[in-house]
Structure 1
Amino acid sequence: MITAGMSCQLIHYTHEEHDKFFEVCKNFNFIIVRCNPGQIKADGGDQQKFDDGMREMRKAGIQVWPSPDVMEKMGAKDALCKVATLNIGLEDTLAYYSPEEFAAGFKKTMAFQPRVIKQNRGSSGEGIWIIKLAEGNYCKEYGERSCEDGEVLKLMEANDNHEETHTVAEFIEFCVSGRSDKSGEWTSKGVGKYLEGGKEAGGQLVDQRFCPRIVEGGISAVGGTGSIYTYYGPEEASFKTLTENFLQKDLPKVMPSLELAEEPVPLWWTTDFILASPEGTPKEEEKWIVGEFNCSCVGISRCLAAYCKDDTSNASFDDIIEEDKAE
Structure 2
Amino acid sequence: MDTERHSPHRQTVAILSRGDSAARRDTTPQNSRFVRVFEALADAGIDAAPAIYDESFAGTVRDQLLAADGVLVWVDPIHQGKTRAELDALLRDVAAQGPAHGPWVSAHPDVILKMGVKEVLYRTRHLGWGTDTHRYDTAAKFRTEFQSRLRADGPRVLKQNRGNGGQGVWKVEALPNADGMVRVLHAQRGSTPEDMPFDALLARCEPYFGWGGCIIDQAFQPRLPDGMIRCYMSGAKVAGFGLQKIKALIPPPPEGPDSPEAQPGPRIMHGPDAPQFQALRRSMEDEWTPQMMATLGIDEPSLPVIWDADFLYGPRTATGADSYVLCEINASSCFAIPEEAPVTIARTAQQRFRQSRHVRSD
- After TM superposition, the score normalised by the length of structure 2 is 0.65
Residue of structure 1 in register with 2:65 after alignment:
25
* CA shift for structure 1 position 110: 0.5
Do residues 297 (structure 1) and 311 (structure 2) align?
no
Deviation of 1:170 (Å): 2.4
State the alpha-carbon separation in 1 of the partners of residues 240 and 43 from structure 2.
16
Partner of 2:21: none
Residue identity in the other structure for 1:119: Q
Paired residues for 1:250-265 under 5 Å: 250-261=288-299, 263-265=301-303
Looking at secondary structure, tell me which structure has more strand per residue: 2
Q: Which residue of structure 1 aligns with residue 75 of structure 2?
A: 35
1:233: Cα distance to partner?
4.8
CA distance in 1, matches of 2:84, 2:320: 50
Partner of 1:245: 283
Q: Which sections of structure 2, spanning at least 5 residues, go unmatched?
A: 1-40, 234-238, 243-266, 339-362
Report the residue type matching 1:290 in the other structure: L
Relative distance call for 1:235 and 1:36 in structure 2 (3 A) is closer
Q: Counterparts of 1:32 and 1:122 in 2: how far apart (Å)? A: 20
Distance of 2:84 and 2:314 partners within structure 1: 41
Q: Could you tell me how far apart the structure 1 residues matched to 2:162 and 2:230 are? A: 22
Pick the aligned partner of 1:102 from 118, 123, 142. Answer: 142
Per the TM alignment, residue 234 of structure 1 is displaced from its structure 2 partner at its CA by 5.1
Matched to 1:273, the amino acid is F
C-alpha distance 56-234 of structure 1, shift in aligned 2 (>3 A): same
CA contact (8 A) 1:88 1:288 kept: yes
Q: Partner of 2:35 in structure 1?
A: none
Q: Distance in 1 between matches of 2:160 and 2:125?
A: 18
Q: What is the SS of the residue equivalent to 2:163?
A: coil
CA distance in 2, matches of 1:14, 1:87: 39
Deviations 1:150-179 (A, max 9, x none): 332111111123211112232223222xxx
Output aligned runs, 1:143-292, within 5 Å: 150-160=179-189, 161-176=191-206, 193-196=207-210, 201-223=211-233, 229-231=268-270, 233=272, 236=275, 238-261=276-299, 263-277=301-315, 282-284=319-321, 286-292=322-328
Residues 154 and 132 (structure 1 numbering): CA distance in 2 closer, same or farther, change over 3 Å? same
Q: Deviations over 1:95-115 (max 9, x none)?
A: 111011111221122112210
Asked if the contact 1:58–1:64 (Cα under 8 Å) also holds between the matched residues in 2, the reply is no
1:78 Cα shift? 0.6
Does the CA-based 8 Å contact 1:269-1:294 persist in structure 2? yes
The letter of the residue matching 2:226 is: E
Q: 1:205 to 1:62 in 2, by over 3 A?
A: same
SS of the residue corresponding to residue 303 of structure 2 reads coil
Matched residue SS, 2:62: helix
What's 1:74 paired with?
115
Counterpart in the other structure of 1:189: none
Q: Aligned equivalents of 1:108 and 1:76: distance in 2?
A: 25
For each residue in 1:132-158, what CA deviation from the matched residue of structure 2 results, as whole angstroms up to 9, or x when unmatched?
A: 2222x8xxxxxxxxxx9x332111111
| Structure 1 residue identity aligned to 2:291 | K
TM-score normalized by the length of structure 1: 0.72
| Aligned residue in 1 for 2:255 | none
Contact 1:272–1:293 (8 Å) recurs in 2: yes
Question: Secondary structure of the residue that 1:25 maps to in structure 2?
Answer: helix
- Percent identity over the alignment? 23
The verdict on how the C-alpha distance between 1:230 and 1:263 changes in structure 2, with shifts beyond 3 A counting, is closer
Q: Give the superposition deviation at 1:276.
A: 1.6
